[in-house]
A and B are shown apart, each in its own frame.
Chain A
């Protein structure tokens, strides 16, 4: 009996020690397994969510002394861990469990930037919108008469067309940047456009299309920022009042009846292809040119689009779990699209839509004209009204051209921040009849973009 008890005790003791051993062995295996994974698995070189991954630090004596060199190695290893994006997605799911996710979430600085009467974007540094996307040729439409090249295009990092406000609100499943506007800057914007009109004279029509940010339509239910939409309306009104000879394209009111439709992405800071359609329609009405109904376009859908706002909301699980459909409309009319550098040297032909790989899906907005990588010239086969259009734009202007094939014989698309030729001379030399400035409200209220508008006018 006593022996039995001793045996049971001894067995249980062994069992207990075995359990401790198992604990130790499993954890040691985990640490060593993760060591192999962390160091020897292929490193992540591109992320769907972050533009610039950490690079292995360059050795310098100063970096070594300051400790930055070793810190750089740690950062590089952590930032480029194999399967990084998957880790990030799991992390955002975990982080959503920290609390009750409110209908309204806020990221960044809730206050307007200081130093201006109602706000400013003057000192905000320009951020990059897109990463080094490897964009291959379009495969979405074979009806286009474009001389597609079959090469793969490496796109340089591009400056963001409009500067992101530090404050972002998620209301329900929609992320929006806060727009506080800047009266002084939008007045300057109007003045700069007026100068174009004055110089170009009556033979060329000049238009201003300032595209509101999503908060102009969807912020009303916010607990903290419900009145922010007014800034957009006030600034648009200021612009309209200060335009002289320049025709205002009232996009705000054109989009207003369509707010129940998907006119803005919920996970990205841009308007959608549908929003751009209504914008283009309003422009065509203002310019008095023909315009095709949406039903004549071929609808293309890319599901599971989680755009820039995911990154700027520190990988919000709300956005990740509620992706957008990226929908774009391919015109039935044929055309030839040519792409140029910023001094308008020819690079290649390609259709207007670029195929973005699944791995780079957070950059789907680059589908339109490959983002802001090139200047473009689109020659329509379905319009011969003698009208030639140039669009000076930020990235909000990229989706407009496909809707204007039946409206203009030629459409030039030029990024306002990058163009290196004199705009007036370019317009005159190419016989352009219509000049459209199409950009987001942020850009119009930004002194930086304003300066570019003027720079292009006076550059020699």
Chain B
């Protein structure tokens, strides 16, 4: 089930809200949320929901043991077992066929792919489980004594399929002591609707435009080759915007939903295109993944600060690989690693002194071209795309078809470009400086816009529910 499904919005959510708020005590509410989270997950993955429960149970036991026997080798063994279990799950379900494919390619063998299906959200909930195991072992948190509470943490429906990757410590207190205030409710719903609009009105339409230019992913080789130079540039800019609106829209919905139930998730995006450097971009983009690698992977003893370059590329290799079992994702991760190394070598002082304009041109080019690598899983398509970007594909600079395509989505593209700037926080800040009466009036205006946005999204979803693209990160 997707957050942008009508069945989620107008079947699952109302029933869940009713059951949740008709239940008085947090203890029981936790069970309500676990029940609905498992239904939510099972709606799309009726079999793999048992894997989710099993994984939660294994992590629950191993964390308890690693905590109890921390001073002994048994504790370490349990900790390592938890890591191996979680990483193993991801490897088996996500990378087995990729490994086989590469072994066949390199050694000329004919090992048959397993065809194993990829359980939705496994990358997210397994990473949450890893962070939980490490934090317990590092004594940052106490192991959860109640299995159902750990299950709630790992299966909570706002984050289970597409993140953000929530640290246990973030919601540890909320699990037992949360309370939904009027502000939580109001902000939560507003955030949910903004996220929905980002997905339905902007991301989905940007993807339609991108598919017009490059063809649908995996089947557009000839179309990529035919794109004009201008078409390729506008197409890849639109694709970058699409990824941003798709994923940040989902994160907004997740954060909003969690808040309605009294959970306070950390932010996952902070207007990444406002960055001055590539390093800063990654501090603003998919924050929960970046911080995961920063906090855990960089501290692996054999690398860490003793082999900084090795650990740097390990992080970016992992970041790329995490996104998918395909070389283009690995290339994409390493590509960013190179630029981050470049910025490290350049030094903070030089970067600070560099003209802002130049820095923005530099990082936007790197980011946008990087999303080209992200987009094209077929290396021929990728090659054609790069040729077209620099005019080596022998294609026209621009033609009428390019203009027509851009015009057809021009207002969506403009809206997408406008809202990458932090306009909403800026307006909020301005209003917060005014009297409470004005803030109340602004809140009523926001209510009006919420109603309109929800109405428009609903109408569009009735029309496009069959072509409503799943959130891209669901596939990761």
Residues of A that sit less than 8 Å from B by CB: 9, 12-13, 15-24, 26-28, 30-32, 34-35, 37-39, 64-67, 69-71, 73-75, 77-79, 81, 84, 87-88, 90-92, 94-95, 97-102, 104-106, 223-224, 315
Determine whether the beta carbon of B463 is less than 8 Å from that of A99.
Answer: no
Cα A22 to Cα B182 with chains together (Å): 10
Residue B9, interface by CB 8 Å: yes
A9 to B46, CA, bound (A): 53
Is A30 within 8 A of B186, CB to CB?
A: no
Between A and B, 8 residue pairs with Cβ closer than 8 Å are A16-B436, A34-B458, A38-B10, A74-B43, A78-B5, A78-B462, A94-B460, A99-B411
- Contact check: which of A24, A27, A35, A224 meets B10 at CB < 8 Å? A35
A18 touches B462 (CB 8 A): no
* Bound: A91/B205 CA distance, A: 13
Chain A residue with the shortest CB-CB distance to B444:
A19
Residues of A within 8 Å of B465, CB to CB, are 74-75, 78-79
Whether B6 pairs with A98 at a CB distance below 8 angstroms is no
Q: How far is the CB of A307 from chain B (nearest CB, A)?
A: 19
In the bound assembly, the distance between CA atoms of A84 and B454 in angstroms comes to 17
Cβ of A21: which chain B residues have Cβ within 8 Å of it?
182, 186
**Mask: chain B, 447-462; 1 = CB below 8 Å from A; 0 = not:** 1001100101011111
In the bound complex, residues from chain A placing their C-beta under 8 Å from that of B18 are: 32
Residues of B close to A27: CB separation below 8 A: 189, 193, 447, 450-451, 454
A43 to B258, CA, bound (A): 32
B412: chain A residues at CB < 8 Å are 98-99
Contact partners of B45 in chain A: CB under 8 A: 67
Q: B427 near A: Cβ within 8 Å? A: no
Which B residues contact A (CB, under 8 angstroms)? 1, 5-7, 9-11, 13-15, 17-18, 42-47, 182-183, 185-186, 189-190, 193, 205, 400-401, 404, 406-412, 435-437, 439-441, 443-444, 446-447, 450-451, 454, 456, 458-466
CB distance from B385 to the nearest CB of A (A): 19
B411 near A23: Cβ-Cβ < 8 Å: no
Q: Which of A23, A75, A99 contacts B447 (CB 8 A)?
A: A23
A26 touches B451 (CB 8 A): yes
Query: Which of these, B182, B410, B439, contacts A24 with CB under 8 Å?
Result: B182
Q: What's the minimum C-beta distance from B44 to chain A, rounded to whole angstroms?
A: 5
Choose among B13, B408, B454, B459 the residue with the greatest number of A CB atoms under 10 Å from its CB: B459
B-chain residues with CB within 8 Å of residue A64 when the two chains form the complex: 46
Q: In the complex, what residues of A have CB within 8 A of residue B5's CB?
A: 74, 78
Cα distance A223–B463 when bound, in Å?
29
Asked if B410 contacts A99 (CB within 8 A), the reply is yes
Cβ distance B266 to chain A, nearest Cβ, rounded Å: 22
CA distance A13 to B436 in the complex (A): 6
Residue of B nearest to A87 (CB): B462
Chain B residues, Cβ within 8 Å of A223: 400-401, 404
Known interface pairs A17-B182, A22-B447, A224-B401. Does A34 touch B407 (Cβ–Cβ under 8 Å)?
no
- B17 CB contacts on chain A under 8 angstroms: 28, 31
Q: What residues on B are CB-neighbors of A16 within 8 Å?
A: 436-437, 439-440, 443
Q: How far is the CB of B406 from chain A (nearest CB, A)?
A: 8
Q: How far is the CA of A426 from the CA of B190 in the complex (A)?
A: 71
Q: How many A-B residue pairs have CB under 8 A?
A: 166
In the complex formed, the residue of B with least CB distance to A110 is: B401
Q: Is the CB of B6 within 8 A of A99?
A: no
Residue in A24, A38, A66, A81 whose CB lies within 8 Å of B186? A24
Contacts of B451 in A (CB 8 A): 26-27, 30
Q: Which residue of B lies closest to A111 (CB)?
A: B222
Q: Evaluate contact between A23 and B462: CB separation under 8 angstroms.
A: no
- Contact between A74 and B1 (Cβ–Cβ < 8 Å)? yes
4 A-B pairs with least C-beta separation: A91-B463, A12-B436, A19-B443, A20-B186
Chain B residues with CB under 8 Å of A104's CB are 404
Q: Are A22 and B10 in contact (CB-based, < 8 A)?
A: no
Instruction: Check B459–A9 contact: CB distance below 8 A.
Output: no
Q: In the complex, what's the smallest C-beta–C-beta distance from A286 to chain B, in angstroms?
A: 42
Q: Which among B9, B436, B450 has the greatest number of chain A C-beta atoms within 10 A?
A: B436
A102 to B408, Cβ gap below 8 A? yes
Q: Which of B46, B436, B466 makes the CB contact (< 8 A) with A67?
A: B46
Q: Is the CB of A78 within 8 A of B14?
A: no
**C-alpha gap A70/B42 in the complex (Å):** 9
Task: Indicate if the CB atoms of B440 and A19 lie closer than 8 Å.
Answer: yes
Cβ of A20 and Cβ of B454 under 8 Å apart? Answer: no
Contact B463 A87 (CB under 8 A): yes
> In whole angstroms, how far apart are the Cα atoms of A20 and B10 in the complex?
22
A334 to chain B, nearest CB (A): 47
Measured CA separation A254–B289 after assembly (Å): 68
Contacts A31-B14, A65-B46, A78-B461; is A23 near B446 (CB within 8 Å)? yes
* A12–B435 CB distance below 8 A: yes
Docked CA distance A331–B335 (Å):
74
A105 to B461, CA, bound (A): 23
Q: A17-B182, A88-B462, A95-B460 are in contact. Are A102 and B404 (CB under 8 A)?
A: yes
CB distance from B131 to the nearest CB of A (A): 28
Chain A nearest CB from B105 CB (Å) reads 28
Give the docked Cα–Cα distance between A21 and B183 (Å): 8
* B441 CB, nearest partner CB in chain A, Å: 8
B190 contacts across to A, CB distance below 8 A = 23
Name which residue of chain A comes closest to B21, CB basis. A28
Contact call B459/A15, Cβ cutoff below 8 A: no
Check if A94 sits within 8 Å of B447, measured CB to CB: no
